[in-house]
Amino acid sequence: MDATPSLARRTLAVFTRNKLALTGAVILVLLLAFCFLGPLFHSTDQVHTDLGQASLSPRAGHPLGTTDVGYDMLGRLMYGGQTSLEVGLAAGLLATLFGTVYGAVAGYFGGWTDALLMRITDAALAIPALFLLVVVAAIVTPSKPVLILIIASVAWLSPARLIRGEALALRSRDYVHAMRLMGGGGGRAVFRHIVPNAIGTVIVNATFQIADAILYVAYLSFLGLSIPPPAADWGSMLSSGITYTQVGYWWLIFPPGLAIVLVVAAFNFIGDGLRDAFDVRLQKG
């Protein structure tokens, strides 16, 4: 009865001892509050342009200045963050979910199933992910659902290989053999035994996948393959700001660039902390 709470407490204790992980968690919470609650306190018009207010430096009423078409930069940073975080979170979680099931099936069944599935994975990994993203994004019209599917379609490869390795080790455990002797099928083995017992690896990998997905959103937006205006994300804001580097409009560059760095670093710090937290040796220590 006390085993689960004890395990949860030990896991949390290891996580909280990692100062970088705690810092990442605090940064992430603050960024989420800034992007999703900020517009309630700083309401701006991010649809209609106002050239009379274009390219204003930071001042009263516009704490981070305005863009080249008159959008309030602080408000745009909030709304752009919503897009980047929503697409990054959804794409990262979708990629982790599909990759986990794919890798678990390959590792558990082995044989020709494993060989076929892994050769498909190896072939896809041989093609640079950014190249695939650019090609697909150039073919279709970008939107939030489309960007999520595009990014997830290349991001699932890494978790698939990782979970496949976990499944190869877990399928030889006694409880899996016992389940087989009792007449359990492959589906039960994968979803009731392999995946749940690899959940620590899955959760840790999910944080890194989300960080990578947010970077992919920025890459595509920087290359001009973002969601059409008036929607925005941090990558497209950074891309637009680079145009004005020579004239010193720093407020168009630093805020979105800093936001991308902070959110990616936060997820990586959290992932490192979770990896330590699920380490049985550190829990015992």
DSSP 259-275: HHHHHHHHHHHHHHHHH
Q: Distance from CA of residue 168 to its chain's centroid?
A: 26
Q: Distance from CA of residue 272 to its chain's centroid?
A: 14
Half-sphere exposure of 69 (CA within 13 A, CB side): 10
Tell the residue number behind the tokens 């698939």, with chain if given. 160
Contact indicator for 274, 22 with CB cutoff of 8 Å? no
Q: Which of 89, 51, 93, 98 is nearest to 70 (CA)?
A: 51
Residue 99 has a CB neighbour count (10 Å cut-off) of: 26
Tell me how far apart the alpha carbons of residues 285 and 222 are, in angstroms, rounded to a whole number: 45
Blockwise average pLDDT, block size 10, the chain, 285 residues:
61 85 94 94 87 86 88 93 93 94 91 91 86 80 86 90 90 80 80 86 91 89 79 87 83 92 94 82 58
Q: Where are the alpha helices (DSSP H) in 37-143?
A: 38-41, 73-109, 111-125, 129-139
Helix, strand, coil shares of the chain as percentages rounded to 5?
75, 0, 20
CA R_g for the chain: 22
Query: pTM score, two decimals?
Result: 0.87
Using CB atoms within 10 A of its CB, is residue 245 exposed (0-12), middle (13-18) or buried (19+)?
exposed
Give the pLDDT of residue 2: 47
The 10 Å CB-count burial string (b at 16+, else e) for 161-178 is bbbbebbbebbeeeebee
Contact indicator for 210, 89 with CB cutoff of 8 Å? yes
Give the pLDDT of residue 240: 85
